[in-house]
Amino acid sequence: MTRTPPTPRRALITGGASGFGLGVARALLDQGASVAIGDLHAGRLREAAQALAAGEQLLPLALDVTAPDSVRAAVSACETAFGGLDTLVNSAGVIRITALDDISEQEWDWVVGVDLKGVFLCSQAAAPLLRQSGRGRIVNLSSDAGKVGFPNIAPYVAAKHGVIGLTKSLAAELAPFKVTVNCICPVGTPETTMGQDVLRMKVSSTGASAEQLMAATAANVPLGRSGTVEDVVHAVMFLLSDEATFLTGGTIDVDGGLINTAPIRGTAG
């Protein structure tokens, strides 16, 4: 029996000019999708558009996920360019490493605004088009920090825990319209812009070299290596595939076993 190829998706990817978002954009474009990449950084957006070189399939958009007008304009641009929207990948994110006593209200609002409020605003704005499509998908990028409490990144941990809760609520509300909503929890990777920022901050605060810190991080992962952008892209693409039509409200930990396993002290391996 000949299998009918899936209908190419019409997608909006926030934070789409770098890291996980850019990786997902490239994978979707390879499948023939129409893809909008939204990003706050104009220079990064231009570089991504040049690298992807996808012609009319690609729509670069200036997007501030914390600003409702900017979000609505981006969704409207997708509708005009693509004739609708059936896919939203919320990948935009920021982080800062700051001790509890030094976190300002401004820093808290900024991190939570991008990492949690932005997911809400984009999902809310895209929902009408996702419902109309009959095959809507939302994939949210949380983090291992969405399940574990880490020191010195309280706003980030709070926001990423919130993304998991928001994912479950949206899944329940949008299920009657055949819209699935799922979440990816990656372990940090030095391949992304955020990963590089975190690595620099750790080098500055610990005095260790980047190589030492990356080796220590990999050694803590049960599967023995750091995560990659491709690891996350594969998980996102599965959730966007026809094989995932009955999955909603869930999370996939792309972390090499870091969150859900622990060694027994005193044993080998």
Active site includes 190? no
Confidence (pLDDT) at 263: 75
Structure tokens that stand for 226 in this block: 């750091």
Count of C-beta atoms within a 10 Å radius of residue 104 = 10
Band (pLDDT 50/70/90 cuts) for residue 165 is very high
The predicted model gives 21-47 an average pLDDT of 97
Look at residue 31 and tell me whether its pLDDT is greater than 70.
Answer: yes
Confidence (pLDDT) at 220: 81
Cα Rg of the chain, angstroms: 19
Cα 258 to Cα 45, 166, 225, 233, 255: the distances in Å are 32, 23, 11, 18, 5
Band (pLDDT 50/70/90 cuts) for residue 6 is confident
What is the pTM for the complete model shown? 0.92
With residues binned 3-state (H G I as helix, E B as strand, rest as coil), the percentages for the chain, rounded to 5, are 50, 15, 35
Higher pLDDT, residue 201 or 244: 244
Q: In what order do the strands lie in the sheet with 58-62?
A: 58-62, 34-39, 10-14, 87-90, 137-141, 180-186, 251-254
Tens digits of residue pLDDT in 231-255: 999 999 999 999 999 999 999 999 9
Cα gap 5→242, rounded to integer Å? 10
Cα 28 to Cα 77, 177, 230: the distances in Å are 19, 23, 13
Tens digits of residue pLDDT in 127-141: 999 999 999 999 999
Band (pLDDT 50/70/90 cuts) for residue 198 is low
Confidence (pLDDT) at 180: 98
Domains of the chain: 10-254 (3.40.50.720)
Q: Could you tell me what percent of the chain has a pLDDT over 70? A: 87
Look at residue 205 and tell me whether its pLDDT is greater than 90.
Answer: no
Asked whether 119 and 43 are in contact (CB, 8 A), the reply is no
Arithmetic mean of pLDDT over the chain: 91
Q: Exactly one of 156, 157, 185, 194 is catalytic; which is it? A: 156
Confidence (pLDDT) at 112: 98
Q: Is 33 exposed, middle or buried (0-12, 13-18, 19+ CB in 10 A)?
A: buried
Give backbone dihedrals phi and psi of 80, rounded to 5 degrees, phi first. Answer: -65, -45
HSE, CB side, 13 Å, CA atoms: give it for residue 262.
Answer: 3
Q: Out of 1-15, 85-99, 173-187, 198-212, pick the least confident.
A: 198-212
